[in-house]
Chain A
Amino acid sequence: MQDEMTDTTVTDVVTDALVGFGCEREEITRAATFESLDIDSLDLAELAQVIEERFGVVLKGSDVVTLKTLGDLIDLIVARA
């Protein structure tokens, strides 16, 4: 079953996933960059899987390659709703 997609639910799902990947919860903010969180292409591929399973939104590598911050990513996911 897919979750209702709001800014809050997406932020929660992304945050939980990143914590699972080894990021520190307190460092995860909308302004944080992938670089500062040490998120690489493998993390983004895993995250895309989580997003697809939870919200039915398909993200390709080419969708996220130009993004810099978590806020950018969350906005993109919500916009795809």
Chain B
Amino acid sequence: MTGIGAVTPLGVGARPLHERWSAGACGVRDGEAACAEFEAREHMTAKEARRLDRFAQLGVTACAEAVADAGWEQLPYAPERVGCMLGTGIGGIATFESNHELLRSGRSVSPLAVPLMMGNAGAAAIAMRHELRGPVLVVSACAAGANAIGSAMRAIQCGEATAMIAGGAEAALTPLARAAFASLEATSPSGVSRPFDARRDGFVMGEGAGVLVLEDAEAARARGARIHARLRGYGATCDAHHLTAPDERGTAAAAAIRASLEDAGLDASEVDYVNAHGTSTPQGDRAETRALTAVLGQRAREIPISSTKSAIGHLLGAAGAVEAVATVLALRERLAGPTLGLEHADPELDLDFVPGAARALHVEPGRGAVALSNSFGFGGHNAVLCLESA
């Protein structure tokens, strides 16, 4: 991992995410977490801006930061050897809604409707902007960001690419999405994101994007790249249980955590931090606690486990990617952000969820700090990344 970028409700940039979350800032306003500081025209031409739905604008902007952070003034590899894997839960839903409104009122639907709302628009825009001609794909649902990063790693491992731009982008703070998630009783009626708290009552919708530059380790070293972290392992499973509800036993989620550790060649005792999926839903947080306890055993009680969603809400298909960015910086700075809003412990959820204030990570000298980043999505998709600071 040589480059990171993010646009989140805590600001434009990966640094503001880490610094403001660690300081206890919360990006939720009136029950939603919008990227209020983001102005598309500050990051792209008028033409680019009007040809991209907000989700793709966020993705392109986070990508520009990640690519600059990786020191890619131009592509360091042949364009055919660099691809992009971008996750999104819903794609251009604001475009969909505004064009549906035009149609209903008897006006013409825009020729830009399809190119703006299609889920692959973000990945395609990144490919065009940076002239990436390797594999360029999109993945979906609320684990999409983590699935994208894991799949991108596999593309490099199997020799399909030398470097991949991977992440997720989402902008679904729209009337339809709001009503649809509320109707499912997935979002919080109180409008508060407080993962693992006894009063948690659903997730708070957020928007944003997170993008990482992944490079083949040898190639990165050969070009003298500054390396943030190593993506050590990836595990992906499916509950095959329910369209929206998690399997509360956490069986398949546990299997994904275990697979990620096995892929990394690491033992539970070597994990220093977990960036939890922690959506603040009653069932989800319970299933995740069970899965972590099942795989990490005693270690689950010894290490800090916190949820970025307490500060920025649930970014759906961007969540896993933004949280991977947050995890990279937590490992680099040896500082885990807190789970905000956690004041009333739930007796069933008895792990150290870092209430109150950010926590320093204690890592024995001579080795990198290791973290797991969990992402679970509707459809029972589970994706777990295992990262180690460089």
Q: Chain A residues in contact with chain B, CB under 8 A? A: 20-22, 38, 42, 45-46, 49, 52-53
Contacts and interface: CB of A to CB of B under 8 A. Distances in A.
Interface of B: 45-51, 108, 110-112, 115
Contact of A38 (B47, B50, B110, B111): B47
Contact of B108 (A20, A21, A42, A49): A49
Contacts of B46: 22
A61 to B, nearest CB: 10
A42 B115 contact: yes
B47 A46 contact: no
Contacts of A22: 45-50
Nearest to A41: B111
A46 B45 contact: no
Nearest to B110: A46
A7 to B, nearest CB: 25
Contacts of A42: 51, 111-112, 115
Nearest to A52: B108
A49 B47 contact: no
Nearest to A38: B47
6 contacts: A21-B47, A21-B50, A42-B112, A49-B108, A49-B111, A52-B108
A53 B47 CA distance: 22
A60 B46 CA distance: 26
A22 B49 CA distance: 9
9 smallest beta-carbon distances between A and B, as pairs: A22-B47, A45-B111, A22-B46, A49-B108, A46-B111, A42-B111, A22-B45, A42-B112, A22-B50
A63 to B, nearest CB: 15
A42 B108 CA distance: 15
Nearest to B109: A49
Contacts of B110: 46, 49
A28 B108 CA distance: 26
A74 B191 CA distance: 54
Nearest to A24: B46
Contacts of A45: 111
A23 B19 CA distance: 39
A57 B47 CA distance: 25
B45 to A, nearest CB: 6
B128 to A, nearest CB: 12
B98 to A, nearest CB: 14
A42 B112 CA distance: 7
Nearest to B107: A53
Contacts of A53: 108
Given A20-B50, A42-B115, A49-B108, 9 more contacts: A22-B46, A22-B50, A38-B47, A42-B111, A45-B111, A46-B111, A46-B112, A49-B111, A52-B108
B376 to A, nearest CB: 38
Contacts of B49: 22
Nearest to A39: B47
Nearest to B49: A22
Contacts of B115: 42
Nearest to A47: B111
Contacts of B48: 22
B114 to A, nearest CB: 10
A49 B111 CA distance: 9
